[in-house]
A and B are shown apart, each in its own frame.
Chain A
Amino acid sequence: MELSQFIEKFAEQFDNTPKSSFAATTDFKQLEEWDSLISLSVISMVDDELGKRITGADIRSCATIADLHKLVESK
């Protein structure tokens, strides 16, 4: 999956954060809406869209959305 598409899918997991807040360099864990439910939604999205399994620890090890995209692609 291309990075731009991944950012879009990532942003879809949020309800109240504007789409303009999401970019490759976004430090997503600092977003006000970020919580364990969204973390779970991201895990589910990666599983549904890419058929890959990531963990909460994987997500926490990433600083930016681009980092997470790279990690997912390496799985």
Chain B
Amino acid sequence: MILVRVHGRPVPLDPRQAWRAIRTDIAAMPRALKAWLLLLLLLMAIGAIGAVRALFPGDKGIATTPTVEWGLLIVGYVFFAITTSGLCLASSLGTVFGIDRFRPLEKRHAVLAVLCLVTAFGVIALDLHFPVRMVFGAVFNPAPASPMWWMGVFYAAYLGSLLVEVWSIFWHHPRIHQWSCLSSSVIAVVAPLTLGAVFAVLEARAFWHGLFTPLHMVAAAYVSGVAVLAIVFYLVGRLRLVGWERGVAVAQPAIRGLLGLGLAVLSLLVARQLFSGLTSSDAGLSSATRLLLTGPLAPEYFGVRLLGGLTIPLLLIALPRTRTPRGLLVAGLLAIIGVFVDRLTFVEAGQLAPVTTVSGVVSAPFAAYSPSPVEIAIVVGGIALVAFLYTLAERYLDLSESETHVMIWMPRWAVHGFATAAGAARRAVGALPRFRWPRRRPAVTADEPIGADGPAEAAD
């Protein structure tokens, strides 16, 4: 007899009772929550319409052409796939390495990762013309030379590992949870590498080709995952959700540090990409880089991706004035939009600078692509789906830190090595001259401490 309890109350499985329980619950929701869920339902409905249109054989309403075969749906898939990897990468510091300040992330990241990955699979299934064939084809006709096959393998394994992780954390199996966190974290590094390899092995597309594309993908995954956590933990603190005390005190500064680090690494990779593109002798690569910097993609690249997605979040994180929860929220929102636009421009730039004129598309010198309403609807619907299900998860599940933690003991030499390296790094950082922001207020002099009248005041 399956009995499901939520917050201590048993959930009835009889349809009529369940419906009554749902109605009571909806009535008990605060108005803002109801409005939020209604908005998400509306966006999901739009997405569903787009999905139905895309599923029908015949004209799917998708604006891809032989020149630009990979459009917004592929970008959406890449975005969701790297976000789900980044979530595990970010929280692996807490779950795998046992660093305490990252512990509050453990349940939330798992739920978000599962939702994002399922949405990613949904989006790609809508783009593929024969999704069922892919499942059977990939299993019975393996293609180990194809990076896309490996990507499918690793993301399927990632889904399995995540499901085990979620199950073990909610059904309270700490050892299994620890091992599944470890495997998820490892796969969360390898899977975006293979996703980058899908693009990187193509010599035909000079903009995508090269070793740095998979690394860029991992860095973007990291930033994306941390940015999602930043947004979530802002809401945790603001709305006083479960575990908010440690969330605000410990998790938010930790996430801020991770986001800053990720954005810094990503900025370096972007700079390298632009530099190598501008100085390259390869016509395809320089053409694609020109497309980004001076061509039709320049406004969104400079404005949204570079300025809004990298520079402003870094400033928000670095400046002490904006090191507030709200600053973290804005930084996270901008960073995640920046990552989406980054992947969009990446996928587009590789194709809009065409390899040949491809039968008449002499669009001097770039091809053109703009997403159709169906594609936009599907991606918007996917984001709304993740938000909707996560809101329900926050409401009905206990997403605080779990009480038990398992330490996987590394061999002694690894422990000592790790500790020595960490200590040396900390000492090296401490030996650097300390950077102090210039102070605006006059310094308080030592012989006039504030509150010197303490005892005299108390005596009144």
**A and B, one complex?**
no
Which residues of B are at the interface with A, using a C-beta cutoff of 8 A? none
